Amino acid sequence: MVLQLYVHFPFCKAKCFYCDFCSHPAGQEEMLRYCAALEKEILSAGKKWIGAEVSTVFIGGGTPSLVPEEGMERVLRAMKSSFAFRPDVEFTSEANPGTLRENWLELMQRYGMNRLSLGVQAAQDALLKRIGRIHTFAEARQAVEMARRSGIRNLNMDLMFGLPGQSAGEWRETLDAACHMEPEHISAYSLILEENTRLFDMVERGQISVPDDDAAAEMYSLAREVLTAKGYSQYEISNYAREGKRCRHNVGYWQGAYYLGLGVNAHGMMPPAREEDARWIRLANVEDTGEYIRRMEAGEDACALREAIGEEEAMFETMMLGLRMNDGVQSSLFTGRFGRAMEQVWPDELESLVRDGLGMWTGGGFRLTDKGLLMQNEALLRLMK
């Protein structure tokens, strides 16, 4: 069996104002205890999924570059000894400017990291400050230089638009500045105002405002225009890559690869046990870091949710994830997985998407049009039974 690994580190220096991810500030001692707990989970997962081959690894957070080398090495060593990595493994770690260190980069690459994803977000320090980022743009540039010097040849930059008070001109400046640094991959995300975040409260109280939907849609179009002109091709609503540099890990998620999530609040999608009547098993670990550490130290299971995904739901998931990509869902993938063609499952619905200009048949499958990509929820609702 081939699978992808996701490993979560829930630590950040400070909480960004828009963030609702599982992350929080922590001291060295807590980070080291967490690493020891994670090591235990990895060793036990390796015994459970013995013989599995790993095609991609993604170390995310939080801020993995904040984790002390001593703890990180325990985790990396456990991964290497528990799983067989494919020779062409794509091994990504997230990192944040302002926390990146040469020693950390050296350690990660010694254990196989070959792709770095940096949270740059914006080129204007005032904007970075307004959303609670801990770094300046100059620090982001220094982080890129440090990564390149250390030998990283596959670099992603995360950028954000729709930020409070952000103008189209500033967004363009960010895109230009990012392209100037020549990363192999750029993710351009629209800010999503999540409840229970500081930014949400600030907007609710009228202390700050964010660009409206029309302005955000213009920024999305601007990203497409600028990035395409600079040689990046869009392969998913928020993702752009140079030739051959798509993020294989994320493409795997969207194409229904098996993945195993390790660490607090990590999620997975794995095959069912032989006797189970299910297509996939969705897994999720406990959401609280203290509880995760406690369970691991007590020799208990970190899993808090185990849900069987039946045929119907798996077919819908295949469309929901696959249609995020510009290539859409390949007919051969769908038929190979379910023994039925998409047009047999949703004959009227797919036809209505084509009729309304939201979807189209390609040589090998079905995809959403540009209009459909912007109205994904509407398009997917039609496929819900």
- Position 212, amino acid: D
Which tokens belong to 198? 């500081």
**Rounded Cα–Cα distance for residues 154 and 156 (Å):** 7
Q: Rule CB under 6 A: is residue 21 a binding residue for ligand SF4? A: yes
5 DSSP β-pair partners:
57, 260
Nearer to ligand SF4, 119 or 256 (CB): 119
Binding mask 64-103 for ligand SF4 (x = CB under 6 A): --------------------------------x-------
Q: Rule CB under 6 A: is residue 12 a binding residue for ligand SF4? A: yes
Near ligand SF4 by CB under 6 A: residue from 4, 63, 174, 265: 63
Task: Kindly indicate which of the ranges 57-65, 231-239, 321-329, 357-365 contains the residues binding ligand SF4, using the contact rule CB under 6 A.
Answer: 57-65
Q: Rule CB under 6 A: is residue 211 a binding residue for ligand SF4? A: no
Q: Rule CB under 6 A: is residue 122 a binding residue for ligand SF4? A: no
Near ligand SF4 by CB under 6 A: residue from 38, 41, 58, 61: 61
Task: Tell me whether strands 155-161 and 115-121 are parallel, antiparallel or unpaired.
Answer: parallel
Task: Kindly indicate which of the ranges 19-27, 50-58, 178-186, 230-238 contains the residues binding ligand SF4, using the contact rule CB under 6 A.
Answer: 19-27
3-state DSSP assignment of residue 235: strand
Q: Rule CB under 6 A: is residue 166 a binding residue for ligand SF4? A: no
Task: Kindly indicate which of the ranges 15-23, 149-157, 300-308, 357-365 contains the residues binding ligand SF4, using the contact rule CB under 6 A.
Answer: 15-23
Nearer to ligand SF4, 15 or 382 (CB): 15
Nearer to ligand SF4, 17 or 171 (CB): 17
- What does the longest C-alpha to C-alpha distance in the chain come to? 59
Q: Rule CB under 6 A: is residue 338 a binding residue for ligand SF4? A: no
| CA-to-CA separations, 352 to 236, 332, 347, 379, in angstroms, rounded | 23, 22, 9, 10
Q: Rule CB under 6 A: is residue 23 a binding residue for ligand SF4? A: yes
In the complex, least distance from residue 293 CB atom to ligand SF4, rounded to whole angstroms: 19
- Using an 8 Å Cβ cutoff, are 15 and 25 in contact? yes
Q: Rule CB under 6 A: is residue 189 a binding residue for ligand SF4? A: no
- Residue listed under structure tokens 């992603």: 156
Near ligand SF4 by CB under 6 A: residue from 62, 162, 268, 322: 62
- Using an 8 Å Cβ cutoff, are 189 and 238 in contact? yes
Q: Rule CB under 6 A: is residue 187 a binding residue for ligand SF4? A: no
- Using an 8 Å Cβ cutoff, are 260 and 4 in contact? yes
- Using an 8 Å Cβ cutoff, are 44 and 75 in contact? no
Q: Rule CB under 6 A: is residue 261 a binding residue for ligand SF4? A: no
- Using an 8 Å Cβ cutoff, are 116 and 109 in contact? no
Which tokens belong to 100? 């990146």
| CA-to-CA separations, 208 to 17, 38, 165, 173, 198, in angstroms, rounded | 12, 39, 8, 22, 11
**Rounded Cα–Cα distance for residues 123 and 323 (Å):** 31
Nearer to ligand SF4, 19 or 152 (CB): 19
3-state DSSP assignment of residue 18: coil
Residues that bind ligand SF4 (CB under 6 A): 12, 15-16, 19, 21, 23, 61-63, 96, 119
